[in-house]
Amino acid sequence: MNVPSGSASVPVLERLRAETRPHHDAIETAINLTSATLTLGSYRHTLARFHGFYRPLEVGMQAAGGWADHGFAVGARWKTSLLEADLRSLGVNDPAALPVCTDLPPHANLAAAFGCLYVLEGATLGGQIINRALEKSLGITPQAGSAFFHGYGERTGTMWRAFRAALTAFAVTPCDRDEVVEAAKDTFSTLHRWVETGKNHP
């Protein structure tokens, strides 16, 4: 585990912002859903890849257990159903038949699962910008194709703050913080690989 020197006492959210920034920037560039030249086919393909990643990862994170012990209702944050609804709106009759990622980040325990969820919840926060861009470029709305990026809608800010508070309360030891950060970095990396691989297999 490659942990920066002197990071043991740094708050977990501060570490996450700093240490995942390159990974975040890389995948944002790779996906580029705010481009004015985005096509409907490209958008649908990206949603399919997201579905193939989120579906197994959310099942695995749920199985990690221990969420309720920390007063965190993780089930309210799953996005697979939103991706399925969007895909059906865009002409995919059976989303369950789409390819599923098997190269998932570590998520078997709560620390790792929190790290994965940091990436997914951050994507929901950033999805508000993407949602507006999609409506402008493709005429797609949350009611028909962009429910995933609409996320929690007006509750997005509240849900993000609640997640930050839960993560901060959980990651109180240096070991937990290290595992959260490494899992977040792995989540960005594995999602990036999955999306990039999919570009060669429409």
Superfamily of 12-19+38-196 according to CATH: Heme oxygenase-like (1.20.910.10)
- What pLDDT was estimated at residue 178? 96
Question: Taking 80 as the threshold, does the pLDDT of residue 38 lie above it?
Answer: yes
Q: Which residues contact 85 (CB under 8 A, 6 or more apart)?
A: 147
CB 34 within 8 A of CB 43: no
- What pLDDT was estimated at residue 202? 47
Which contiguous run of DSSP H or E holds residue 161? helix 156-170
The per-residue pLDDT for range 127-150, each reduced to its tens digit, is 989 999 999 999 999 999 999 999
Q: What DSSP state is assigned to residue 104?
A: P
Which contiguous run of DSSP H or E holds residue 176? helix 174-198
175: which 2 tokens? 């070991």
Any long-range contacts for 153-157 (C-beta under 8 Å, 24+ apart)? 156/124, 156/125, 156/127, 156/128
- What pLDDT was estimated at residue 158? 95
Per-domain boundaries in the chain: 12-19+38-196
Percent pLDDT > 90 in the chain is 84
- What pLDDT was estimated at residue 8? 58
- What pLDDT was estimated at residue 115? 97
| Listed range (31-35, 50-54, 91-95, 153-157) with the worst mean pLDDT | 31-35
Three-state DSSP class for residue 198? helix
Question: Taking 80 as the threshold, does the pLDDT of residue 119 lie above it?
Answer: yes
Residue 65's pLDDT band, with cuts at 50, 70 and 90, is confident
Which of 100, 67, 68 lies closest to 83 in space, CA to CA? Answer: 100
**Furthest-apart CA pair in the chain: how many Å?**
51
Distance, CA of 194 to CA of 138 (rounded, Å): 24
Which of 72, 65, 56 lies closest to 159 in space, CA to CA? Answer: 72
Average pLDDT, the chain: 92
CB 19 within 8 A of CB 4: yes
Highest-confidence range of 3-7, 35-39, 58-62, by mean pLDDT? 58-62
pTM recorded for the entire structure? 0.92
Amino acid at 136: K
| Comparison of pLDDT for 40 and 6, the residue scoring more | 40
- What pLDDT was estimated at residue 60? 95
Distance, CA of 132 to CA of 30 (rounded, Å): 19
